[in-house]
A and B are shown apart, each in its own frame.
Chain A
Amino acid sequence: MSSMPIASVRRSKDDRVLAGVCAGIAEAIGVDPTLVRLVFTLLAFAGGAGIVLYVAIWLYLNGKGWLAVVAVLAAAGLALRALGLSAQTAAALVLIACGLALIWRRGRSLRPGTPLSVAGLALAAGGVALLFFRGNSSISFLAPGALAGAFLFVIGPWMWQLALERDAERTARIRNEERADVTARVHDSVLQTLALIQKHAGEQTRVASLARRQERELRSWLYDRPSSGETLVGALTTAAADVEELHGVRIEVASGGDCAVDGEVSAVVLAAREAMQNAAKFSGAGEISVYAEADNAHIGVFVRDRGKGFDRRAVPTDRRGLADSIEARMARAGGTARIVTAPGDGTEVELSLARKL
């Protein structure tokens, strides 16, 4: 819509009969010049409108805009007179067209919300008044219908075009927003992490943990892993991420089957989190494996490290993490916790819960 063909019309220098106007129009809209000349010739028979219109466009192309507008109005009036309309009707229609043109010129469109030209409105209203109150009898019956029809033909496709454009604009906007989102999420976070890594290049654990966090974020974004707590595996992944962050360890979460989180399942997740935390704090192992399985009858979660292990009997009785946070919690949920460990042999916490469905 932005490139009105009229804007690209140039008078043709090498193909001209009079001033090169017809050939120029033909070039701009891509049709045969003879066709344009034919149209102007035909219009010339309509009370001389074609001749005046030709002069009008010639004036416009020579930079005399206002004269051109007057000439166009004159041409339109002549054409309407030639069609057999009374002088009043022709003048009324020209006034309406003139008003609409002003309105359009002011706001660059007829969309709601754009500034309205008062002069344009007044002209159009005057035209309508002239049409209804001063027109002769035959026209006063015909004119409203004809006018409405003409209006529909002119405005209808235009409105349709506007609606299509708005859809296209919306699509483009959404696409741009998506692109901005990708840029923001991927590049900003990656660049930030890289900057941090450069600053902390000397601290091995800090660098590893930064890289790990970045990896996890990208991974969950790229592969759309469950990152929320809505499912067992999603909640375990979140818990693992927290523990990784806090203790600078690496936790691999694998799963065979998943299920939704309810009260009992969330107890399993909390117990598993405690087990991960214990492994991260006390085992000395750099990597922890978590495996979750779920089917209709049973949920199992395994948290394993290859760290130094421990002797249960040697754990001081004031250290209640294992007993309270893991075993007692699982018991309350109706499940069991089994801890397999020996000094030097790593630790595995097995959480098991039967599902009542």
Chain B
Amino acid sequence: MKPRVVLVDDHALLRAGVRGELGTRVDIVGEAGSLADAIPLIKATDPDVVLLDVHLPDGGGEGVIAAIGPERPGVKFLALSVSDAAEDVIAAIRAGARGYVTKTISADDLADAVLRVAEGDAVFSPRLAGFVLDAFRAGERTHSDTDLDELTAREREVLQLIARGYRYKEIAARLHLSVKTIESHVTNVLRKLQLTNRHELTRWAAERRLI
């Protein structure tokens, strides 16, 4: 069954483009151009996945996640943004997005990402994977007062391959694991990232003058 998707982006042109690219592989049940329109639309349509721009004219995409998340745990969010600046990426993930991709992603990769998120897995762009590796490494350096759950060696390996531009299937082949296992590693990393003390990530970002 095709996942039901809502598109939230203030650029109608981009929505049309994404609709054209995803058209046959997912079922797009609604579009919204603002935070105010998105919230009732998502509540009414109850989609599997919301493709969410992190910058909306009336607030960040985090606002949509915060308004919907607690009420509809079944709705998953995939952040789609033109900005892959660390603070935007981290903010979207911290708010509860299941993944982050940039708008330059190819149609096939975007469709894969939507399907993967619909199944409850996580999707990391190469840049996001790099940020996460760096953030967790920063946590190790200041080990005494860190709340960062450490990454396992395997999780680190998977993240590094994502950062190097490998697809899940390629990672699975390289590590002699199943795609399902790779997905569960990434999902675990996402969980650790979302559970991690906010302060730690903020400091990591501040250290790099990202905020």
Q: Which A residues fall within an 8 A CB radius of B?
A: 222-223, 250, 252, 254-258, 288-289, 291, 293, 295, 302, 304, 348
Contact = CB atoms under 8 A, between A and B. Distances in A.
A293 to B, nearest CB: 7
Contact of A223 (B85, B132, B164): B85
A36 to B, nearest CB: 53
A257 B137 contact: yes
A295 B133 CA distance: 11
23 contacts: A223-B83, A252-B126, A254-B125, A254-B126, A255-B127, A255-B134, A255-B163, A256-B129, A256-B131, A256-B133, A256-B137, A256-B160, A257-B137, A258-B208, A289-B164, A289-B165, A291-B126, A291-B160, A291-B165, A293-B160, A295-B137, A304-B165, A304-B166
Given A256-B131, A304-B164, 19 more contacts: A252-B165, A254-B125, A254-B126, A254-B130, A254-B163, A254-B165, A255-B134, A257-B134, A258-B208, A289-B126, A289-B165, A291-B126, A291-B163, A293-B134, A293-B160, A293-B163, A295-B137, A304-B165, A348-B164
A299 to B, nearest CB: 13
Contacts of B165: 252, 254, 288-289, 291, 302, 304
Given A302-B164, A348-B164, A293 B133 contact: yes
B27 to A, nearest CB: 29
B209 to A, nearest CB: 8
A257 B131 CA distance: 8
Nearest to B134: A256
Contact of B130 (A222, A256, A348): A256
Contacts of B131: 256
Contacts of B125: 254
Size category of the B interface is 10 to 19
Contacts of A254: 125-127, 129-130, 163-165
List the 8 shortest-distance A-B pairs measured between CB atoms, nearest first: A289-B165, A256-B133, A254-B126, A256-B130, A254-B130, A256-B134, A291-B164, A302-B164
Interface string B74-86: 0000000001010
Contacts of B133: 256-257, 293
Contact of A256 (B83, B85, B163): B163
B107 to A, nearest CB: 13
Interface string B138-179: 000000000000000000000010011110000000000000
A257 B133 CA distance: 8
Interface string B13-25: 0000000000000
A258 B130 CA distance: 11
Contacts of A222: 83
Contacts of B127: 252, 254-255
Contacts of A293: 130, 133-134, 160, 163
Interface string B56-99: 00000000000000000000000000010100000000000000
Interface in B83-121: 83, 85, 104
Nearest to B87: A223
A222 B81 CA distance: 14
A293 B131 CA distance: 10
A256 B134 CA distance: 5
Contacts of B83: 222-223
Given A256-B160, A304-B164, A291 B130 contact: yes
A234 to B, nearest CB: 12
B85, B132, B165: residue with the most chain A Cβ atoms closer than 10 Å: B165
A223 B125 CA distance: 18
Contacts of A223: 83, 85
A255 B166 contact: no
B134 to A, nearest CB: 4
Contacts of B132: 256
Contacts of A289: 126, 164-165
A252 B104 CA distance: 10
Contacts of A348: 164
Contacts of A252: 126-127, 165
A169 B132 CA distance: 46
B82 to A, nearest CB: 9
Nearest to B127: A254
B104 to A, nearest CB: 8
A257 B132 CA distance: 10
Contacts of B166: 304
A289 B83 CA distance: 18
